[in-house]
Each structure stands twice: as structure tokens, then as C-alpha cells.
Structure 1
Amino acid sequence: MCCAVVCATATVSLSSQATSAPKPEPRQALKQRYHATQHGGVASAANSSITCRKPVGNAAPCDTVQKGGDGQNSEYDMFYSDVDRDPNTYNSTRATLRLPKNSRVSYARLYWGGNLRVGEVKPAKDNGRVLMSEPGGSYRAVKADTVRTHRRADGADAYQASANVTPLVRGAGPGRYTVAQVNVAMGRSKAGAWGGWTLVVAYENKKSPVRHLRLWDGFAASERNPAGMPVASGPMAFPARAKGSVGVVAYDGDRGLGREPFTVAADKRAGTALSDAANPVGDPFNSTIADHGRQVAGRSPAHRNTLGYDSDVFDAQRALRPGGKQLMFRFASGDDDYLLGALFAQVDARR
């Protein structure tokens, strides 16, 4: 997947949005980006773009943390992950998109983001562009149609950008995708260095159940809000004991700082806290890339502690047990502040 300079600088328009750089939007609550009800599902592929280079003080060694040990990004000198052997990229990581056989991509969106102000300061003008290569292909420049930003009191200068990449993913299909040049800063600071990317794909497949497929995005800051940030699903009738899953993309969630429940409720019922083997109750944003409690395979590098980037898929069946006509998601914050970038779900539809 290496690429010469002429290839890396070529830009391919991947959406119907204007090609001029989008104006950054202030942080905002999540809003629906895509919805469909069809035979199919939602899949994702993700990786972090930066990791530790050396510990500071009494922090655990980097290899211990990368293998899943406790550690937070503010405790490390952080440096870029770069797997493509291309001298023209300063960061690059890979992840595998898996789809059922004979699936057709209905919609695909790439999210990326991170912190621009750490030991170094990265220019915000580069937020809206990354390089992406499909399985077996060369890099194409992807331009964002949406960029959102948020600055925090601890010095973090955060952003999330996203782009509609449906034509690229529909043509390439499943396999290993590489994303490079994610605009994140290296070094060490109180805020810490963090960043990564997630590809979210809604697909159609005749052998899959009829499901509600939903995608929401924004850039909501938890800011120690114990009441939680609510997100309403809108109409999506589902039967009792329906099956379903919920995925979340979040930034700067630190492992071990708890009291941040993520709950899902059917209609106006009490919420059910989502958790699994990789994401304990009260600490779902703990620097993991996992699916139903299992670390996602097919990533390079495959760090189990991403030091500040979460892209997780949870089993939501317990919350769906009573059936209903709408879901209410609630994200609360206790000891940890984080930024919520995207939420996606697939839920069995009522027939």
C-alpha cells in the first residue's frame, strides 16, 4: 500500500458536498446522519493513530500498556504510529472491515480526529484532510464535509472531521483499509495526546434480518455532567426480545477513571448500562477498540490500550428486552471527561 508523492497528493472527491474546506462548527450534541430499515446491518473498522514512546515518572512501560495494562495518555511521551513504510506519511494505521458475503454497501462514513495541542501544536487547517487506501489500493486524499472543534480548560484543542466515503467503500468492499495523515499532535502534556479514526458502514444483505440502521454524529463534551448527555433515536419500532448492537466513537476516555455510565432505554423505561469484558460498568470509555467485549482483530498496530481513543460495539439486547418505539441513549460523566463523536446502532425491526 505504499505510494509515491504524486499519488499521495491526488485528491478524489468522495461526496456530493462542495470541495472547498468546510468551516469548523462549534461542539454540538449528536444528530442523526443516516437511517434505513432494511435487511442488513452496520459494520465498522477503526484504529488509533498515536501511541506511547516512553513513560514519564512511575508510569508502566509502554509495551505493558500497549498489551492492555493500565495507563493514561498524560503519563507518556506520545508518538505517531506509522505502518505503511511510506516516507511521505508521518502516521498511518490499518484496520479490517468485515461484511457478510454478498453484502452491498448502502452508506459509509469515515470519522477521524484528536488533540492538536500537546508537546507540539498542529495547525487546524489540516484537520479536514486525510489519506485513505482501500484493500490492495493506493492512497486517495479524503476531504471532510464536516469539521467540529472543542477547546478545554486543560489545554486540549480537539476536533473531529468526517466524510462520506460511500463510493470508495462500495467499490472496494471488505478488507484492510489504511488511514494516514490524521492531524494529531505528539509529545506530552496534562491534556495528553490522543486521536484515531473509525469507518462506519451500513450494508444491505438479503440473508440478514430486517433491521433499523442508524448513525448519529456530533462532538459533545461530557464535562463532568452526572445527568448525562441524552440522544433520542427517533421512531424505530422493535419487538420484545429484539436483538441489536450499539457502537460508539469517543475521544480521550482514560482507563480506570470511572463513574461514567452509558445507558440505553426502550421508550421511557429506566436505562440499562451497557458493559462487557472489555468495557467495565461505569468505565465504557477506557481506550479500547472492541466488539461485544472482544478486542477487534485485523488491526495494525493492534494495541489493546489505545491511550485515549475508543471505538466499541456493545450488545444491546438487554436494553431491547421490553420492545418499544424509540431508544434513549444517555452518556454521563463522573471522574473522566471525554468527547463523544459518533453513535451507531442496528436493531431488529418489528414486522
Structure 2
Amino acid sequence: MPKSMDRTRCGAVCALATLALSAALTSAVAAPAPPESPRIPFAERFHSTGHGGIARAGRTTVTRTAHLDTDDAPRTVGSSSARLRLPAGSRVRYARLYWGGDLRPGGPRAARNTGQVLLAGPRGRYEEVRADGPIGRRSTARTDVYQASADVTALVRRGGPGTYTVARAATGRRAARAGSWGGWVLVAAYENPREPLRRLTLWDGFEALGGKRRALAVELPGLRIPAHSRGRAGVVAYRGTPGTHGKISARAGRITPVALHGAADPANEGPQSMRPNSGRQAPGRATYHNALGFDSDVFDLTPALRSGGDRLAFRFTTRKAGYLLGALFVQADLRR
């Protein structure tokens, strides 16, 4: 499951974005905004059993000094691109787009647009995407963090693997040093007869860690994972201040919980920030390779699966200011 962090060029997006943008902005039918909640308990969004896997692509939309601008379209704000990699011959079963960030530097104007973004696939045409469920939003004295999401299966199934661009995700308009940050993650479950037989599951919600709440448990039932399986787990998380660290552990069956580690997370210090290496800043702005408050990472789940079991239990902890957990996805092999 590659991390999709390589630099990509805008390609067809640059050529078609301006032409398609006006249509995307004017074609939307007025609809009531989804409800907001400071806490959304984690629940299963998707699951399947078959030959395939889960891939993800994501990017920050803000650097320390400016919003990114991949498409060069003057009417978009915070456009950034990332490549979704799928094995040859794959078919997308389910895809969901998550986006979020800190609204406080942008004030009420930014908060009005949390429930919609523009999404362009490899063919380069923007389509408006609206949140199809409650929006998580939690305000403190320092931050105003939100997460929205939407089912984009049809769009990603048409587009297939390649570069996806997200624009107009609501964040503050000021520089990130004043507290503005944001980003997006596209999670895609696919089927492919050449891949191992796997259990695939996606859960999401909006849960805060920090203050008096130092731990969060998320239990995934009904997986029936055989002993000595291999697997991976991915997260989408948001944190109000840089430097927030935590730990993630998991266990299947009755074994002692195992701390999870990833290639970009050797110290297990929580999810690592996604590097904004696809997208251009305004002229004269310095490049800043840190997503500041928006995070996504993938962890090796294999050590936690050695005894197998029907349930997979995750435990998220924090020792500092805390973070907000938005999504959890798992793929686990069913055959050794």
C-alpha cells in the first residue's frame, strides 16, 4: 500500500480545470447543510471479503506560508494533487473522500463551506462533492477543527488509478503560522483476482483525545482473521497544534496489545504529517514540507494478528495536547 507522496504534475488538470470550474460551481442544486457534531462515535462504513486491498492518496492543502495551487485556476483555493495507485486489473469497490482542517483563522466565512469541495480525477474535470453525513466539528480556545466526508465511488471507479485533485476545502485564509491547516485523503477499496484473499473494512467518526481523555478504544468485530495473518491499518487524524504525539496499539484475540509501527513512523509517535510535495505556492513563497495539523499514515498490523481472532481491538493514546481521529481502515489476509 504505497503512501502516494511522490511529486506529480498537474497534467490534464491544468488544461481543463478552468474550463470545467464554472460548470462545477453553477451546477450544484441548493441543499441543506449537513448537521455538525463535536463528537461522532466510530462506526463501520464499509466492509468486504475478497481478493483485493485498500489504497489511499492524500495531500495537505496549506503550507506554513500559503495555500497550495496545483491547477492554476484563479477561482479555486487550496488545490492539491496526489496519485492513487492501484494494481493493474483492479476494480474499485468503494471509495470515500475525507477532508478537513482548522477554520479559526478564516472566521465565519470559512465555516460556511465545510460541506463541499471540488474533486477532479485523472481526466481532469472538476465535480462538486458534498458531504453525505454529519460533519464533525470541535472548537477550542485555539482551534476550530472539522472533518467532512463523502462517497465518491462512482467518480473514482470511472477515473481509475492516477492523479486526483481536491480544491476549495474550507480552511483559514491566513498563513499556517497563525493556525491554518487542512488536507484530504481518498480511501479506495478495490478488488483484484491477483491479490490475496482479504478482509477489508473502513470505519470512521470524529473522536477527540487530549485533556482528561487520554485513550480511545475502537473494536472491529466479525473479522474472523486466521492466526499468523498479515495486514495493515491506516488512519486519518487531525490535531490542533504541531508536535502532538500519541501511540497506537492493536490486538486480535487474547494476546497482549502490540504497538503499531509504520515505515514513516519508527518511533510510533502517532500518525505522521503528510508532506505537501504536489502543488505550487504563490511566487516568492518558501516551500514547507510539513502538513502542520493534518495527518494520515499506514501501520504494519501483522504483529497484532499472530494469534488470529474474530475481533480486532485498537487503542489510541496521547500524552500531550491530543488529536482528533477521523477514520480507520484495515486490510487483513485470510490465507497465510
TM-score normalised per structure 1: 0.82
The structural deviation recorded for 1:308 is 1.1
- Asked if residue 193 in structure 1 is aligned to residue 175 in structure 2, the reply is no
Q: In structure 2, what is the equivalent of residue 40 of structure 1?
A: 52
Partner amino acid, structure 1, of 2:205 = G
SS of alignment partner, residue 318 of structure 2? coil
CA distance in 1, matches of 2:178, 2:255: 37
SS of alignment partner, residue 171 of structure 1? helix
- Asked if residue 27 in structure 1 is aligned to residue 27 in structure 2, the reply is no
CA RMSD of aligned residues (A): 2.5
Contact 1:262 1:282 in 2 (8 A): yes
Partner amino acid, structure 2, of 1:105 = V
Q: In structure 1, what is the equivalent of residue 3 of structure 2?
A: none
Please give the residue correspondences for 1:73-152 in structure 2 after superposition, counting only pairs within 5 Å: 79-118=66-105, 120-152=107-139
Partner amino acid, structure 2, of 1:3 = T
CA distance in 2, matches of 1:150, 1:161: 9
Query: May I ask how many residue pairs the two structures share in their alignment?
Result: 314
The structural deviation recorded for 1:281 is 3.0
Q: Return 108-117 or 277-286, whichever deviates more.
A: 277-286
Partner amino acid, structure 1, of 2:155 = L
TM-score normalised per structure 2: 0.86
5+ residue gaps, structure 1: 54-78, 290-295
Q: Return 93-102 or 232-241, whichever deviates more.
A: 232-241
Q: In structure 2, what is the equivalent of residue 3 of structure 1?
A: 18
- Asked if residue 242 in structure 1 is aligned to residue 229 in structure 2, the reply is yes
The structural deviation recorded for 1:324 is 1.5
5+ residue gaps, structure 2: 1-12, 281-286
SS of alignment partner, residue 168 of structure 1? helix
SS of alignment partner, residue 82 of structure 1? coil
CA distance in 2, matches of 1:106, 1:285: 26
Percent identity for Structure 1 against Structure 2: 43
Please give the residue correspondences for 1:168-317 in structure 2 after superposition, counting only pairs within 5 Å: 168-187=155-174, 192-224=179-211, 227-252=214-239, 256-258=243-245, 260-288=246-274, 299-300=278-279, 304-317=289-302
Contact 1:271 1:319 in 2 (8 A): yes
Cα deviation, 1:9-66, whole Å, max 9, x if unaligned, reads 14479xxxx954322234122111111111111110000111111xxxxxxxxxxxxx
Contact 1:19 1:143 in 2 (8 A): no
CA distance in 2, matches of 1:226, 1:282: 20
SS of alignment partner, residue 232 of structure 1? strand
Q: In structure 2, what is the equivalent of residue 62 of structure 1?
A: none
CA distance in 1, matches of 2:288, 2:52: 30
Q: In structure 1, what is the equivalent of residue 284 of structure 2?
A: none
- Asked if residue 325 in structure 1 is aligned to residue 325 in structure 2, the reply is no
Cα deviation, 1:209-257, whole Å, max 9, x if unaligned, reads 1111000011100124565111111111112221111010001275544
The structural deviation recorded for 1:119 is 6.2
The structural deviation recorded for 1:137 is 2.2
Distance of aligned partners of 1:247 and 1:253 in 2 relative to their CA distance in 1, 3 Å threshold? farther
Partner amino acid, structure 2, of 1:217 = D
CA distance in 2, matches of 1:105, 1:337: 34
